[in-house]
């Protein structure tokens, strides 16, 4: 009897587990980053030469003229006091991102953007340009031919432009000359930084790490930071440990939020948005005005003249739509179905969501972009 009862209870537990909702989990690697492992931005100023008359106007861009003079003087050409008239040179700002743990001699992509009144950088070549970090040190040097994604063509009476011809890319166009000193293997403590700060998610990340390590080595410090203290006698090194920790599955939590972009009419509603009992009605007033002028001609052999008589037709139609009842605690799917039942578009839906929030009947934050 007891064996039969145990088997029945086990079957019931399996049935409940099978019918329970499976929440989506994500890897810690997708939810957080390791503090210190980051990119660094680089910037530099350079010259692009070889343009087909589409470069800067030297009279309007004194920085281009001074840079050209300085470059030629360093190469042994003295043009001080001479009048320079060329449209084949353009001043550009060069930007790049220095990847973490980048070593000397490796290459990175850079972007060159026109600084003066150049019309196009098509066909240009970037001369040697040092790229500086925030500390003022040179970390990379860029040089090479530009790849332009846009173009411009014009004639005497028309012009066409596609894309942005004054911005170009240099794939693998810069060589790293200085490394950033960051020794990961010697660190005893690491900070795991969440991309979307949340108290619950931080606690779940710490619990997942502690379960894997078998020791209380992780603790949440705030909604965005989890402190990981590595044991001194841990058999694995830091890289192997982080590799395993990144693959741990965690169910992220999120605050109920509605994001609205009024410019494009895009609405994003979070999973946990809930609505109290509320009735919603929406109506539109459509006014139509049509002009159908008629020509009035005089009788034959009369002294009258032909005139145009205006004919205007004005009408107004008001859409009287019914109330839609949204019950308390409805889910996201029920909320969308209830609002779609009104037959409204995104623009009107934005106004309705803001009105429901103003009435205190929606349990979510509304963020307007």
Residue pLDDT tens, the chain, 369 long: 444 434 433 433 333 333 334 457 889 999 998 888 889 999 999 999 999 888 999 888 889 888 888 888 888 888 777 777 888 999 999 999 999 888 999 999 999 999 999 989 998 999 999 999 999 999 999 999 999 887 677 666 677 777 788 999 999 999 999 988 877 777 778 899 999 899 999 999 999 999 988 889 999 999 999 999 887 776 667 888 888 899 999 999 888 888 888 777 778 887 777 777 767 666 654 545 565 777 777 777 667 777 777 776 666 555 555 555 555 566 656 666 666 666 666 777 777 777 877 877 777 888 887
Number of H helices, E strands in the chain: 7, 26
Question: Residue 346's closest CA among 273, 285, 286, 282?
Answer: 282
Count of structural domains within the chain: 3
Q: Give yes or no: residues 159 and 44 share one domain.
A: yes
pLDDT at 32 (0 to 100): 92
The phi and psi torsions of 157 (rounded to 5 degrees) equal -125, 0
In a domain, 63, yes or no: yes
pLDDT of residue 9: 36
Give the span between the Cα atoms of 127 and 334, in whole angstroms. Answer: 61
Provide the pLDDT for residue 207. Answer: 94
Contacts of 86 (CB under 8 A, 6+ apart): 55, 58
* Full domain range(s) for residue 208: 183-250
Shared-domain flag, residues 246 and 339: no
Distance of CA 199 to the CA centre of its chain: 24
Question: Which of 279, 280, 269, 276 is CA-nearest to residue 365?
Answer: 269
Question: In what side-by-side order are the strands of the sheet with 189-194?
Answer: 32-34, 189-194, 225-229, 218-222
> Exposure of 106 by Cβ count < 10 A (0-12 exposed, 13-18 middle, 19+ buried)?
middle
Same-domain check for residues 75 and 166? yes
Q: Verify that 166 and 123 share a domain, yes or no.
A: yes
**Which pLDDT does position 335 carry in this prediction?**
66
Q: Are 275 and 328 in contact (CB under 8 A)?
A: yes
Q: Are residues 122 and 139 in the same domain?
A: yes
Take residue 364 and report the two structure tokens written for it: 């979510």
Indicate if 227 and 285 belong to the same structural domain: no
The domain boundary, picked from 176, 197, 222, lies at 176
Measured distance CA(247)–CA(28) in Å, rounded: 6
Residue 31: inside a domain, yes or no? no
Q: Indicate whether 338 and 227 sit together in one domain.
A: no
Q: What are phi and psi of 353, to 5 degrees?
A: -65, -40
Is residue 25 assigned to a domain? no
pLDDT of residue 237: 77
Q: Is residue 9 part of a domain?
A: no
Residue 363 CA to chain centroid, in angstroms? 27
- Considering the domain boundaries, does residue 2 fall inside one? no
Say yes or no: 133 and 187 in one domain.
Answer: no
Do 17 and 76 form a contact (C-beta atoms < 8 A)?
no
CA angle, 73 then 76 then 80, to 5°: 40
Query: How does DSSP classify residue 149?
Result: S
Hey, which bits of 214-276 come out as E strands?
218-222, 225-229, 249-250, 257-261, 266-269, 274-275
Of 215, 230, 250, which residue is a domain's last? 250
Is 30 within the bounds of a domain?
no
Is residue 165 located within the same domain as residue 64?
yes
**Structure tokens of 274?**
């809930």
Looking at the structure, do residues 191 and 210 belong to the same domain, yes or no?
A: yes
The structure tokens 């009419």 sit at 265
Answer for the pair 250, 26: CB distance below 8 angstroms, yes or no: yes
Q: Answer yes or no: is 192 within a domain.
A: yes
Has residue 16 been placed in a domain? no
Instruction: Please give the angle made by the CA atoms of 306, 310 and 311, to the nearest 5 degrees.
Output: 130
Of 234, 250, 266, the residue that ends a domain is 250
74 and 149 part of one domain: yes
């Amino acid at each position: 009897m007891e064996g039969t009862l145990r088997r029945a209870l086990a079957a019931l537990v399996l049935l409940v587990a099978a019918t329970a909702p499976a929440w989506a989990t994500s890897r810690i690697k997708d939810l957080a980053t390791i503090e210190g492992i980051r990119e660094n931005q680089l910037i530099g100023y350079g010259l692009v030469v070889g343009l087909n008359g589409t470069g800067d106007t030297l009279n309007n861009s004194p920085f281009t003229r001074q840079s050209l003079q300085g470059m030629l003087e360093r190469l042994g050409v003295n043009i001080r006091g001479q009048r320079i008239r060329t449209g084949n040179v353009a001043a550009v700002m060069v930007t790049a991102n220095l990847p973490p743990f980048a070593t000397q001699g490796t290459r990175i992509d850079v972007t060159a953007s026109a600084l003066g009144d150049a019309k196009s950088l098509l066909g240009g070549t970037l001369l040697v340009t040092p790229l500086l970090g925030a500390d003022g040190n040179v970390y990379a040097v860029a040089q090479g031919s530009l790849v332009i994604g846009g173009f411009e063509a014009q004639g005497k009476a028309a012009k066409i432009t596609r894309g942005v011809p004054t911005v170009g890319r240099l794939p693998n166009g810069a060589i790293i000359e200085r490394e950033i000193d960051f020794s990961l293997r010697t660190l005893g403590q690491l900070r795991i930084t969440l991309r979307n700060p949340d108290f619950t998610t931080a606690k779940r990340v710490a619990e997942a790490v502690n379960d894997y390590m078998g020791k209380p080595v992780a603790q949440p410090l705030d909604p965005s930071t989890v402190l990981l203290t590595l044991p001194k006698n841990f058999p694995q090194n830091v890289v192997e440990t982080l590799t395993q920790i990144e693959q741990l599955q965690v169910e992220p939590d999120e605050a109920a939020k509605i994001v609205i972009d009024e410019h494009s009419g895009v609405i994003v509603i979070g999973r946990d948005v809930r609505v109290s009992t509320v009735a919603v009605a929406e109506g539109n007033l459509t006014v139509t005005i049509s002009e159908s002028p008629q020509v009035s001609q005089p009788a034959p052999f009369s002294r009258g003249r032909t005139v145009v008589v205006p004919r205007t037709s004005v009408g107004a139609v008001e859409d009287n739509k019914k109330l839609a009842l949204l019950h308390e605690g409805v889910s996201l799917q029920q909320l969308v179905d209830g609002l779609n039942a009104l037959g409204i578009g995104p623009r009107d839906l934005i106004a309705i969501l803001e009105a429901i929030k103003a009435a205190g009947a929606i349990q979510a934050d509304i963020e307007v972009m």
